[in-house]
């Protein structure tokens, strides 16, 4: 949510930003918000005037009673009562107008960075850098489900019976590899100075509406029937929600946190063959990183955070690239975002394995996350980034470490988490 003061003083800047995001249907929101803001301020002015008048009239009543001017005092009391009734109306109306204004403001997208390329959708995202040389082996790389089945590492049929489409059982060495990657990512981030957390896996609706836009919520979140609780789509939701309506001491910043959680997503819509298997699923596990910092530090942390993900993948021998997300591919709260994509030898192209975002103060403003220091109080900046999400990452891992005989190398950094195992061997 942007600052209402900026909307008042620079409405054309807000409109231009909406146009850059190709959300022309939201342009009327600017005038609607300005009208509601003007109405709210007029009500506040009238209310302040009535309160001041009430105080003056109350003093006058006392003076009239002391002078035994009872009839005149009763007339003033009647005016006080009338003003009180009007003040109650104003307070109710102001609350309604304020709620409508907040709802409109929450639909106006955050300002985007000057570094963000202008484009309509993810097809216009821009590659910035590559890390490790992508390779294509001289044998045909099987589909990732085939690799997993030959390693006796997955059971989709049973999952369809117990849970439906979009779920899976991981078994044996693959289940162990999955856990090993998460444990390695946890320790990797602790080594970078981040504090490890395990957050709640369900959050209330006021947290949901604070951490994401309405459009994202509808497309992602599972609601718990009969309760004001939602399953998290990523631990960022509950990690940022932890600081809702709090004011942090400036000396505590930056807060650098890394969290583990299962994640639950609807993943609506039809998807191609490459997005089946374990690529796009309803339940997965992830290691996340979250930073809460002062405004002047957020771009520095943004650059550090996505580099951490790159470093992690490179340490496991997986080629990756950084892709700057264009304006039309940014969610409403994001100021700037980039994807880290891993190389797929089978498809001979990169695919997304993580995303890093700087939300400036848009998320903090919705949730009421402030910090205070010698110069006063201000809204903090919030950032989040995927360290690793093993189901999708496993695809890149298996394809990049596969041998023609079906065996898969285990990189040295993961061997301590795999009981010293150096290679996975096909069992089928």
pLDDT tens-digit map of 6-34: 999 999 999 999 999 999 999 999 999 99
Which is it for strands 154-155 and 169-170: parallel, antiparallel or unpaired?
A: antiparallel
pLDDT of residue 275: 53
In this structure, whether the domain defined by 4-105 belongs to CATH 1.10.287.40 is answered with yes
Averaged pLDDT score across all residues of the chain: 91
pLDDT of residue 214: 66
Choose among 356, 250, 357: nearest CA to 293. 250
SS (H, E, C) 197-226: ECCCCEECHHHHHHHCCHHHHHHHCEECCC
Q: Global pTM?
A: 0.89
Alpha-carbon distance of 248 to 253, in angstroms, equals 8
Contact 256, 197 (CB under 8 A): no
b/e burial code for range 259-295 (CB count within 10 A of at least 16 → b): bbbebbbebeeeeeebebbbbbbbbbbbbbbbbbbee
Choose among 208, 209, 189, 205: nearest CA to 197. 189
Query: Which ranges of the chain have pLDDT less than 70?
Result: 59, 61-64, 74, 76, 214-215, 268-276, 428
pLDDT of residue 84: 80
CATH code given to domain 122-424: 3.30.930.10
pLDDT of residue 85: 82
Q: Which two tokens stand for residue 155?
A: 């059971």
pLDDT of residue 61: 67
Dihedral of alpha carbons 146, 150, 153, 157, sign: positive
- Domain coordinates in residue numbering, the chain: 4-105, 122-424
pLDDT of residue 268: 61
pLDDT of residue 276: 65
Q: Which two tokens stand for residue 8?
A: 């008042």
pLDDT in tens, 333-356: 999 999 999 999 999 999 999 999
How would you classify residue 135: left for phi > 0, otherwise alpha for psi between -120 and 50, otherwise beta? beta
Element (H, E) at 337: strand 336-344
CA dihedral 292, 298, 302, 304 (to 10 degrees): -90
Alpha-carbon distance of 298 to 367, in angstroms, equals 18
pLDDT of residue 56: 73
Q: 103 by DSSP, 3-state: which?
A: helix
Q: Which two tokens stand for residue 93?
A: 């109306």
Alpha-carbon distance of 302 to 337, in angstroms, equals 9
Choose among 216, 244, 243: nearest CA to 230. 216
Q: Per DSSP, what are the bridge partners of residue 114?
A: none
């Amino acid at each position: 949510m942007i600052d209402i003061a900026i909307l008042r003083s620079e409405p054309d800047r807000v409109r231009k930003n909406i146009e850059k995001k190709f959300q022309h249907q939201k342009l009327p929101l600017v005038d609607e918000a300005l009208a509601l803001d003007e109405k709210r301020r007029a009500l506040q002015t009238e209310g302040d005037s009535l309160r001041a008048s009430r105080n003056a009239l109350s003093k006058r009543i006392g003076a009239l009673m002391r002078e035994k001017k009872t009839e005149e005092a009763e007339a003033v009391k009647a005016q006080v009562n009338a003003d009180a009734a009007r003040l109650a109306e104003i307070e109710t109306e102001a609350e309604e107008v304020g709620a409508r204004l907040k709802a409109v403001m929450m639909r106006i997208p955050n300002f985007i960075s000057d570094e963000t390329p202008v484009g309509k959708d993810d097809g216009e995202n821009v590659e910035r850098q590559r890390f490790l040389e992508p390779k294509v082996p001289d044998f045909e790389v099987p589909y990732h489900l085939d690799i997993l089945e030959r390693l006796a590492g997955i059971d989709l049929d049973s999952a369809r019976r117990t849970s439906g489409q979009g779920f899976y059982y991981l078994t044996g060495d693959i289940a162990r590899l999955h856990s090993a990657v998460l444990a390695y990512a946890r320790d990797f981030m602790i080594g970078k100075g981040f504090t490890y957390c395990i957050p709640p896996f369900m959050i209330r609706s006021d947290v949901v509406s604070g951490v994401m836009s309405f459009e994202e919520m509808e497309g992602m979140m599972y609601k718990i029937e009969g309760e004001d609780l939602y399953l998290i789509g990523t631990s960022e939701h509950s990690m940022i929600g932890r600081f809702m309506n709090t004011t942090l001491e400036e000396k505590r910043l930056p807060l650098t946190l890394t969290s583990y959680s299962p994640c639950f997503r609807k993943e609506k819509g039809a998807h191609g063959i490459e997005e089946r298997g374990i690529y796009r699923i309803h339940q997965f596990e992830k290691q996340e990183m979250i930073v809460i910092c002062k405004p002047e530090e957020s771009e520095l942390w943004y650059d550090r955070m996505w580099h951490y993900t790159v470093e992690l993948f490179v340490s496991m021998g997986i080629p990756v690239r950084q892709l700057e997300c264009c304006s039309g591919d940014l969610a409403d709260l994001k100021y700037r975002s980039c994807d880290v994509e891993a190389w797929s030898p089978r498809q001979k192209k990169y695919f997304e394995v993580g995303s890093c975002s700087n939300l400036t103060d848009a998320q903090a403003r919705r949730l009421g996350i402030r910090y205070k220091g010698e110069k006063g109080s201000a809204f903090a900046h919030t950032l989040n980034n995927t360290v690793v999400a093993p189901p999708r990452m496993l695809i890149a891992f298996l394809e990049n470490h596969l041998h023609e005989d079906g065996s898969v190398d285990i990189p040295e950094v993961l061997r301590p988490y795999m009981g010293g195992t150096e290679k996975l061997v096909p069992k089928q």
